[in-house]
A and B are shown apart, each in its own frame.
Chain A
Amino acid sequence: MTTTTAKSKVLPPPTERYSLLGWLHKNLFSTWYNALLTLFAAWLTYAMLKPTLTWIFGEARWDVISANLKLFMIGRYPIEQEWRVWAALFLLTWVIGLSWGSWVKKFELSGLVLLLIPVFMALLPFSMDDRLKILGLSVFSLIGYVIAKSQPATFSKVSIFAWLLYFPVGLLIIRGLTGDEGFFPVVDTQLWGGLMLTVLLSVLGIMFSFPIGVSLALGRQSKLPIISWISIGFIETIRGVPLITILFMMDLMLPLFLPSEIRIESIIRALVGITFFSAAYMAENVRGGLQSIPRGQHEASHALGLSGFQTMAFIIMPQALRAVIPILVSQFIGLLKDTTLVMILSLFDILGIGKAVLGNPDYIGTSREVYLFIAAVFWILSYGMSYASQRLETALGLGER
C-alpha cells in the first residue's frame, strides 16, 4: 500500500481567462481556412443585411400596418366594443401575475423581462390611448403579483381556480351576453379575427386536444377491444388526412348530417376540426411517452398496492408527459401555424386579414411589409412557446435523470 501526503490539497478548478482577442483567435481565426470562412461569412452577412435594413428603415411603407393595426389585432370586431378585448387582456395579465407571485419562489429575471415587454411596446408609435392601455397590462400583472406574494400558500390554490375560470369568463366578455342591445351586446363570432382569432383557436385547440389526446392514448392501450378499436380508428383516420381536408369536411359535410335549422358557427367548426386533428397527434406522442416508462415503475407501484388508475395518474402519466414536453411543444407550434388554414371557413385570422388588407387598392405593393409583419408575429409566438417549454423542462428537472 502506498500512502500519499496525509492531506491532498483540494484545488479550485482552473479558471479560463477570457480576453476579446483571445476569444476571437480561438473561435474565429484559429486556422487559415477558419479565418477565410469568418471573413466570407462576415461579407455575406453585410451583403444581405445592408439592403434589408435600408429597406426596413427607409423605403418600407409601415403605414400599412399602423393604419390597419386594429384589423390585424382583432379583425372586424366592432370598434366601440374593443374595450372588452382589453378587459379580457387585463384579466389575463392579472391572472398571470397572480400565478407568478404564488408559484415562482425566488425572484426571477425572466419575470421582470415579461413585465417590461409592455413597457417597451408602449414606446412603439401607437396612439397615446393604446400606450396607456398597454402599460396598464404591466400594472395589472404587477397587482396580481403583489397580491399573491402577500400569501403565496393560499393564492397558489386560488390561481388554479383563476385559470379554470379565466377561459369561460374571458370568452364571455369577448362574446357578450345581452342580445344585440345594451352594455354587453353579443358580437357575432364571424366578426372575430386577426391575431385574437389566431391565438384563441390555438389556445383553445391545445386546451381541448390535451385531455382528448391523453384519453385516446390510454384508450388505444385499453384491454377492452371496443375502446381500443375506436381509439385506433379515430387516431389513424385523422392522421391519414391533412388538416385542410378536415376543415373542408367540417364546412361541407357537417351540414349534411345536421337538420337545416341548426347552423353551427364557423369558429366552432374550425375549433372542432383543429381539436380533433391535434388530439390524434397528441395521442400518438403521449403513447410514445407511456411506452418509454420502464416496466419496473408499473411493478413498484402495483407492489405498493396502488390501483391501475392510481398508478397511471401518479406514476406513469406524470413521467410520460414530462418525457414528451419537447415533442408536444413542437406539435403545438405546428398547430399555431396551422390555424391559418381556417381561411377556408371564411374566418379571418391574422394571415387572412393580411390578404384582405392587400386587396385594398390603397395598399398595392405593400405585400412585403404585410407578410414580414405577420411572419414576425408568428415568430414571436412560436419562440415564446419554445422558450417557455425550455423553462418548464429545467424547472421540472428533465435533464437530471
Chain B
Amino acid sequence: MSENNNNDPIIVCQDVHKWYGQFHALRGIDMEVRKGEVIVIFGPSGSGKSTFIRTINRLEEHQSGQIVVDSIELTHDVRNIEAIRKETGMVFQQFNLFPHLTVLQNITLAPLQVHKWKKEKAEEIAMQLLERVGIPEQAEKFPGQLSGGQQQRVAIARALAMQLKIMLFDEPTSALDPEMIKEVLDVMTELAESGMTMLVVTHEMGFARSVADRMFFFDEGQIVESGSPEDIYNNPQEDRTKLFLSQILQH
C-alpha cells in the first residue's frame, strides 16, 4: 500500500521518562516511527524494552515526556487512550489468549464489542485472518488445545482483527520451542511486507536483519545506539552494543 504521506511519523516519542517507585526505568527515550516502518528493539534483560513499548498503548503510564500516536497525544484523557488502543495491537510473550473462549471467539470478541460489527462480518474476517496465519482448521478449538506457535498466531490474528495501523510485539517468540519460532516469524515477515507499522522487541537476529528498517539498542532505560541492520551488525559504534551483539550472536 503506497500512501502519499508515507514519510509522516505515525509514532513520536519525546524525552519519555518512567519510574517504578524510585526506580528510573525509562530515562528519556526519543523515537520517531514512520508509517510502514519495521522497528526492532533489542538489549539486555531489564533494560526497559517492554516498559517502553507498553507505554505506547498505555499498559504502562509514562510520567514525563510526550507520546503521540497517529496525531493523538497520550494523556490521562480516557478517550485518547481508547482511540490509541483502537489503532494499536499488541502481541505478548505469553500469548495471553482468553482460555475460556474458542479461537474464533478470541478473535471476534473485540470487533463485536468495540467496533460493534455484525457477528457474520466479524466471523468472516476472523476466518480470513486465520487463513492468513495458516490455521483456519483450529477455529473451534480452545487455546489450551493448541501448540505455542499456533497460540501465538491466533494472538496475532486477534490483534489484526481490529483493523489497526500499528502492531507492538513484545518478545513474541521467546516462550516458544525452537521448531515453532519459524512459523511465527513467517507470519510476522508477511505482515511487515504488507506494509504494517511494527515495533518488535526481539532477539531473533535473522528476522531483524532481513525485515527491520531500523534497530534500536536499549540499555539501562536509554537508547544507546540506533541505525539500519547493516550499520548495527557490521559497524556498531558503542562498546555496549558490540559486547551485547557478541553475546547473542554466539548462539
Contact across chains for B142 and A397 when beta carbons are under 8 A apart? yes
Measured CB to CB, the nearest residue on chain A to B84 is A305
Residues 272-311 of chain A, each 1 if its beta carbon lies under 8 Å from chain B, else 0: 0000000000000000000000101101111111110010
Contact of A303 among B89, B99, B100, B113 (CB under 8 A): B89
Contact of B113 among A306, A319, A401 (CB under 8 A): A306
Among B90-98, B130-138, B177-185, B229-237, the one that faces the other chain is: B90-98
Q: Is A22 an interface residue (CB 8 A)?
A: no
With A296-B92, A296-B94, A297-B96: A302-B59 Cβ-Cβ less than 8 Å: yes
Residue positions of B touching A, CB distance < 8 A: 57-59, 82, 85-86, 88-90, 92, 94, 96-100, 109-110, 113-114, 142, 144-145, 155, 158-159, 162
Contact across chains for A299 and B92 when beta carbons are under 8 A apart? yes
Measured between beta carbons, the chain B residues less than 8 angstroms from A306 are 109-110, 113-114
Given A302-B57, A302-B85, A306-B109, 14 other A-B contacts at CB below 8 A?
A300-B92, A303-B89, A304-B85, A304-B110, A304-B158, A304-B162, A305-B114, A306-B110, A307-B82, A310-B113, A310-B114, A314-B109, A396-B100, A401-B144
Contact across chains for A300 and B98 when beta carbons are under 8 A apart? yes
B91 CB to closest chain A CB, in angstroms?
9
Interface centre among B85, B94, B99, B145 (most CB of A within 10 A): B99
Contact of B99 among A299, A301, A304, A319 (CB under 8 A): A319
Measured CB to CB, the nearest residue on chain A to B86 is A305
Question: A residues 385-400 with Cβ under 8 Å of B?
Answer: 396-397, 400
Contact across chains for A400 and B96 when beta carbons are under 8 A apart? no
Contact across chains for A299 and B85 when beta carbons are under 8 A apart? no
Q: Is A322 an interface residue (CB 8 A)?
A: yes
Can you identify 17 A-B contacts, CB atoms within 8 angstroms?
Answer: A296-B94, A297-B96, A299-B96, A300-B97, A300-B155, A302-B58, A303-B59, A303-B89, A304-B85, A304-B114, A304-B158, A304-B159, A304-B162, A310-B114, A315-B98, A319-B98, A396-B100
Measured between beta carbons, the chain A residues less than 8 angstroms from B109 are 304, 306, 314
Measured CB to CB, the nearest residue on chain A to B105 is A314
Measured CB to CB, the nearest residue on chain A to B113 is A310
4 interchain residue pairs of minimum CB distance: A300-B96, A304-B110, A296-B96, A303-B90
Inter-chain CA distance A385–B114, complex, in Å, is 38
Contact across chains for A319 and B82 when beta carbons are under 8 A apart? no
Inter-chain CA distance A218–B139, complex, in Å, is 33
Measured between beta carbons, the chain B residues less than 8 angstroms from A302 are 57-59, 85
Measured between beta carbons, the chain A residues less than 8 angstroms from B142 are 397, 400
Interface centre among B110, B155, B162 (most CB of A within 10 A): B110
Measured between beta carbons, the chain A residues less than 8 angstroms from B89 are 303-304
Measured between beta carbons, the chain A residues less than 8 angstroms from B90 are 299-300, 303
Measured between beta carbons, the chain B residues less than 8 angstroms from A310 are 113-114
A315 CB to closest chain B CB, in angstroms?
6
Contact across chains for A400 and B144 when beta carbons are under 8 A apart? yes
Question: A residues 298-346 with Cβ under 8 Å of B?
Answer: 299-307, 310, 314-315, 318-319, 322
Measured between beta carbons, the chain A residues less than 8 angstroms from B110 are 304-306
B198 CB to closest chain A CB, in angstroms?
15
A281 CB to closest chain B CB, in angstroms?
24
Measured CB to CB, the nearest residue on chain A to B164 is A305
Measured between beta carbons, the chain A residues less than 8 angstroms from B85 are 302-305
Number of CB contacts from chain A to chain B under 8 A:
64
B181 CB to closest chain A CB, in angstroms?
20
Inter-chain CA distance A300–B168, complex, in Å, is 12
Measured CB to CB, the nearest residue on chain B to A318 is B100
Measured between beta carbons, the chain A residues less than 8 angstroms from B82 are 305, 307
Inter-chain CA distance A300–B143, complex, in Å, is 14
Measured between beta carbons, the chain B residues less than 8 angstroms from A297 are 96, 98
Measured between beta carbons, the chain B residues less than 8 angstroms from A299 are 59, 90, 92, 96
Measured CB to CB, the nearest residue on chain B to A400 is B144
Inter-chain CA distance A318–B98, complex, in Å, is 10
Inter-chain CA distance A302–B85, complex, in Å, is 8
Measured between beta carbons, the chain A residues less than 8 angstroms from B159 are 303-304
B99 CB to closest chain A CB, in angstroms?
6
Measured between beta carbons, the chain A residues less than 8 angstroms from B59 are 299, 302-303
Interface centre among A296, A301, A304 (most CB of B within 10 A): A304
Inter-chain CA distance A310–B110, complex, in Å, is 9
Inter-chain CA distance A294–B89, complex, in Å, is 19
A350 CB to closest chain B CB, in angstroms?
38
Inter-chain CA distance A243–B155, complex, in Å, is 48
Measured between beta carbons, the chain A residues less than 8 angstroms from B162 are 304-305
Inter-chain CA distance A396–B85, complex, in Å, is 31
Inter-chain CA distance A300–B98, complex, in Å, is 9
Measured between beta carbons, the chain B residues less than 8 angstroms from A401 are 99, 144
A321 CB to closest chain B CB, in angstroms?
10
Measured CB to CB, the nearest residue on chain A to B109 is A314
Measured CB to CB, the nearest residue on chain A to B59 is A299
A302 CB to closest chain B CB, in angstroms?
7
Measured between beta carbons, the chain A residues less than 8 angstroms from B114 are 304-306, 310
B213 CB to closest chain A CB, in angstroms?
23
Measured CB to CB, the nearest residue on chain B to A308 is B78
Measured between beta carbons, the chain B residues less than 8 angstroms from A304 are 85, 89, 109-110, 114, 158-159, 162
Measured between beta carbons, the chain B residues less than 8 angstroms from A400 are 142, 144-145
Inter-chain CA distance A400–B145, complex, in Å, is 9
Inter-chain CA distance A302–B96, complex, in Å, is 12
Inter-chain CA distance A156–B92, complex, in Å, is 37
Contact across chains for A322 and B98 when beta carbons are under 8 A apart? no
B216 CB to closest chain A CB, in angstroms?
21
Measured between beta carbons, the chain A residues less than 8 angstroms from B98 are 297, 300-301, 315, 319
Inter-chain CA distance A112–B102, complex, in Å, is 30
